[in-house]
């Protein structure tokens, strides 16, 4: 058997997941993610694919996050003619996220074109348009977990549960053009064990070669129980002060986790029941998707949503609904974006951050230079929507709501593989965490660990 694997992204970094597998009778793309965050991300996204979209025969996705799917509309726009394989949960989330991503791209191009016009430059085209996202969605083929499906001749695949976000999966791929089948495993992003809403990540029974994520390869997260204790304290403090609790949330995963956590504390009598506003159209759609797709949730997970929905979760879909929240008292307001860079959260911050009784809670990663990060670092004078505001609210960070397994979780996930691979590659991690994880896997399990860079090519075979 001959196969070649090229690392086109998420190699030495955490975004742009994209791996090209070439076998004798076809070419398969695993994930088709957008580069995000750092300065040259946009340049790399616009540079186009380092392969011909028309030459790819099948796409197999691990999960819906934009850094794993965000270039699909471009791939289809560039002439990719085939199917996009995914779990039902991934399809459900992509239906929300890909058109949203296209909308952002179109808006971005419009803004830049206006700016360029003032300088006498020609307008720019968006990375892709909403119609490309719709075309990509029509190519999706959903599959249940655990069942093998045909990818190309000589390759079949099945999905294992990975936790992380709704529908997230590891891919077990079997290459059959050889004396014996070759098992190639893509971990995708691996979630933590005991997530209250999502299934525990499952390790494959065997692997001949493995790609394992390493986002948190050098540290463990705070236990969820400690994070719940902290949230309970914040809610009690806000209650005493008579202020609202403002939580900037990421629409996928984190918002649902917060809703669950608040509900749990209220049911256990550890927090006073109060209105919870979910003020983000995308987070509302995603929350409904979590509720509708029971098969992708942890057993019992969907009931947690039913419970809180039965009492006082208020969906603020329209702009009018959002503005009306200004009159809310003793309430919790969950709004996007998660790093306070755009969206409705800015209005709530402008309205609330100058008040001492307000409690601002950060429950997710805040990248350098974002408004969220500057507030956490104690900046007192901030500019929000063109206005200088004094940050007088009390500010809290909660560290235990991660959608990723920590270092111990990743090592345990590897440890649970029955027949371990002779070689493996660590992907989806910055250099420091993945080097730390590589050392741990070598020391504890004798693993032979590669740390590929973008553009690296690997020959796979049964002797590897
Ligand atoms: Zn992810």
User: What is the 238 CA–ligand 1 centroid distance (Å)?
Assistant: 32
**Average pLDDT over every residue of 279-307:** 79
What is the average per-residue pLDDT within 111-131?
A: 94
- As a whole number of angstroms, the distance between CA 172 and CA 183 comes to 7
CATH code: domain of residue 342: 3.40.50.10890
Instruction: Report the sign of the C-alpha dihedral through residues 317, 322, 324, 328, in that order.
Output: positive
Q: Are residues 143 and 177 in the same domain?
A: yes
Q: Is the pLDDT of residue 310 over 60?
A: no
Distance 10 CA to ligand 1 centre (A): 11
The model's pLDDT over 335-358, given as tens digits with 9 standing for 90+, comes to: 998 889 888 999 999 999 999 999
Tell me: pLDDT of 427 over 90. Answer: yes
252 C-alpha to center of ligand 1: Å?
10
Strands 149-152 vs 140-143: parallel, antiparallel or unpaired: unpaired
In the reported structure, the alpha carbon of residue 37 is separated from the centroid of ligand 1 by a whole-number distance in angstroms of 14
Q: Give me ligand 1 centre to Cα 53, in Å.
A: 23
Tell how far the Cα of 455 is from the centroid of ligand 1, in angstroms: 21
- Ligand 1 geometric centre to CA of 164 (Å): 7
**In this structure, are 73 and 173 located in the same domain?**
yes
Selection from 337, 455, 343 nearest residue 16 by Cα: 455
Question: What's the gap in Å between 358 CA and the centre of ligand 1?
Answer: 31
| Residues 80 and 51 both lie in one domain | yes
178 Cα: distance to centroid of ligand 1 (angstroms): 33
Q: pLDDT tens for residues 161-188?
A: 999 999 999 999 999 988 899 999 999 9
> 290 alpha carbon to ligand 1 midpoint, in Å?
16
Total domain count, the chain? 2
Distance between Cα 61 and ligand 1 center (Å): 11
Q: How far is residue 366 from each of residues 337, 348, 372, measured CA to CA in Å?
A: 11, 18, 6
Centroid of ligand 1 to alpha carbon of 347 (angstroms): 28
Q: Ligand 1 center to residue 201 CA distance, Å?
A: 13
**CA–centroid distance, residue 409 to ligand 1 (Å):** 16
* pLDDT tens readout for residues 238-281: 999 999 999 999 999 999 899 889 988 998 999 999 999 999 99
C-alpha of residue 381 to centroid of ligand 1, in Å = 33
CA distance 398 to 334: 14
C-alpha 97 to ligand 1 mean position (Å) = 13
327 Cα to the center of ligand 1, angstroms = 36
| Per-residue confidence (pLDDT) for residue 46, from 0 to 100 | 94
Mean pLDDT across the chain: 93
pLDDT range class, residue 367, cuts 50, 70, 90? confident
CA–centroid distance, residue 311 to ligand 1 (Å): 31
Residues 174 and 53 in one domain: yes
Backbone angles phi, psi at 173, to 5 degrees: -110, 140
Determine the distance separating the centroid of ligand 1 and the alpha carbon of 264, expressed in angstroms.
25
How many whole angstroms separate alpha carbon 325 and alpha carbon 336? 14
d(CA 109, ligand 1 centre) in Å:
26
Mean pLDDT of 434-454: 97
In this structure, are 76 and 212 located in the same domain? yes
- The Å distance, Cα 390 to ligand 1 centre, comes to 35
Q: How far is the CA of 146 from the centre of ligand 1 (A)?
A: 20
| 25-29, 255-259, 301-305: range with lowest mean pLDDT | 301-305
Domain boundary among 358, 381, 397: 397
* Distance between Cα 426 and ligand 1 center (Å): 15
Residue 464: pLDDT above 60? no
Q: State which residues form the domain around 306.
A: 224-397
State the CATH number of the domain containing residue 209: 3.60.15.10
Q: What is the distance in A from the centroid of ligand 1 to the CA of 2? A: 30
How much is the average pLDDT of 218-237?
A: 95
174 and 62, same domain (yes or no): yes
Q: How many A from CA of 456 to the centre of ligand 1? A: 22
- Specify whether 242 is located in the same domain as 323: yes
Residue 350 Cα to ligand 1 midpoint, Å, equals: 30
**Do 98 and 213 fall into the same domain?**
yes
Residue-wise pLDDT for 122-160, tens only, equals 999 999 999 999 999 999 999 999 999 999 999 999 999
> 212 and 231 in one domain?
no
Task: For residue range 28-74, list pLDDT tens digits in order.
Answer: 999 999 998 766 888 999 999 999 999 999 999 999 999 999 999 99
Backbone angles phi, psi at 244, to 5 degrees: -85, 155
At residue 304, the pLDDT reads 66
* Distance from Cα 139 to the centre of ligand 1, integer Å: 21
For residue 127, CA distances in Å to 34, 47, 117, 195 come to 11, 10, 19, 35
Q: How far is the CA of 167 from the centre of ligand 1 (A)?
A: 11
**Does residue 327 share a domain with residue 245?**
yes
By percentage, how much of the chain surpasses pLDDT 90?
Answer: 80
pLDDT at position 301 is: 65
pLDDT at 283: 94
pLDDT of residue 462: 72
Q: Quick check: 300 pLDDT over 60? A: yes
Please tell me the distance between residue 198's alpha carbon and the centre of ligand 1 in angstroms: 14
3-state SS, the chain, equals CCEEEEEEECCCCCCCCEEEEEECCEEEEECCCCCCCCCCHHHHHHCCCCCCHHHCCEEECCCCCHHHHCCHHHHHHCCCCCEEEEEHHHHHHHHHHHHHHHHHHHHHHHHHHHHHHHCCCCCCCCCCCHHHHHHHHHCEEEECCCCCEEEECCEEEEEEECCCCCCCEEEEEEECCCCCCEEEEECCCCCCCCCCCCCCCCCCCECCEEEEECCCCCCCCCCHHHHHHHHHHHHHHHHHHCCCEEEECCCCCHHHHHHHHHHHHHHCCCCCCCCEEEECHHHHHHHHHHHHCHHHCCCCHHHHHHHHHHHCEEECCCHHHHHHHHHCCCCEEEECCCCCCCCCHHHHHHHHCCCCCCEEEECCCCCCCCHHHHHHCCCCEEEECCEEEECCCEEEECCCCCCCCCHHHHHHHHHCCCECCCEEEEECCCHHHHHHHHHHHHHHHCCCEECCCCCCEEEECCCC
Q: Say if residue 311's pLDDT is above 80.
A: no
> Are 388 and 407 found together in one domain?
no
Rounded Cα distance, 431 and 47, in Å: 24
Choose one of 347, 370, 397: the last residue of a domain.
Answer: 397
Average pLDDT over residues 209-226: 95
Is pLDDT at 237 greater than 80 in this prediction?
yes
Residues 253 and 141 in one domain: no
CA–CA dist 362, 246 (Å, integer): 9
């Amino acid at each position: 058997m001959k196969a070649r694997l090229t690392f086109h992204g998420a190699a030495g970094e955490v975004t742009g997941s994209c791996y090209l597998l070439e076998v004798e009778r076809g070419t398969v793309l695993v994930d088709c993610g957008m580069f995000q965050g750092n300065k040259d991300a946009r340049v790399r996204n616009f540079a186009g694919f380092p392969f011909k979209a028309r030459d790819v025969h099948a796409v197999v996705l691990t999960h819906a996050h934009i850094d794993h799917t965000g270039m699909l509309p471009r791939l289809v726009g560039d002439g990719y003619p085939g199917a996009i394989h995914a779990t039902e949960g991934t399809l459900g989330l992509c239906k929300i996220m890909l058109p949203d991503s296209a909308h952002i791209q179109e808006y971005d191009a419009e803004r830049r074109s206006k700016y360029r016009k003032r300088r006498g430059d020609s307008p720019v085209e968006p990375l892709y348009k909403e119609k490309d996202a719709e075309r990509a969605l029509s190519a999706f083929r959903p599959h249940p977990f655990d069942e093998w499906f045909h990818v190309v001749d000589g390759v079949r695949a099945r999905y294992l549960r990975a936790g992380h976000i709704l529908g997230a999966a590891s891919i077990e791929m079997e290459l059959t053009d050889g004396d014996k089948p070759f098992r190639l495993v893509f971990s995708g992003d691996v979630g933590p064990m005991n997530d209250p809403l999502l299934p525990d990540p499952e390790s494959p029974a065997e692997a001949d070669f493995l790609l394992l994520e390493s986002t948190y390869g050098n540290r463990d997260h705070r236990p969820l129980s400690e994070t719940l204790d902290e949230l309970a304290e914040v809610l009690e403090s806000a209650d005493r002060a008579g202020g609202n609790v403002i939580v900037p949330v990421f629409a996928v995963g984190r918002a649902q986790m917060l809703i669950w956590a608040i509900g749990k504390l209220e049911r256990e009598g550890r927090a006073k029941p109060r209105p919870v506003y979910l003020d983000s159209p995308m987070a509302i759609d995603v929350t409904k998707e979590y509720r509708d797709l029971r098969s992708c949730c942890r057993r019992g997970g969907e009931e947690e949503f039913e419970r809180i929905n039965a009492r006082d979760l208020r969906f603020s879909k329209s702009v009018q609904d959002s503005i009306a929240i200004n009159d809310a008292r003793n309430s919790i307001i969950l709004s996007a974006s998660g790093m306070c860079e755009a969206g409705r959260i800015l209005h709530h911050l402008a309205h609330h951050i100058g008040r001492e009784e307000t409690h601002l809670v950060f429950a997710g990663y805040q990248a350098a230079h974002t408004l969220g990060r500057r507030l956490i670092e104690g900046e007192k004078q901030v500019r929000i929507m063109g206005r200088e505001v004094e940050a007088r609210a009390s500010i809290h960070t909660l560290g235990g709501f991660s959608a990723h397994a920590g270092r111990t979780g990743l090592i345990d996930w590897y440890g649970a593989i029955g027949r371990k691979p002779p070689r493996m590659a660590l992907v989806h991690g910055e250099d420091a965490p993945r080097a730390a994880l590589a050392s741990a896997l070598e020391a504890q399990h004798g693993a032979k660990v590669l740390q590929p860079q973008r553009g690296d090519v690997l020959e796979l075979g049964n002797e590897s």
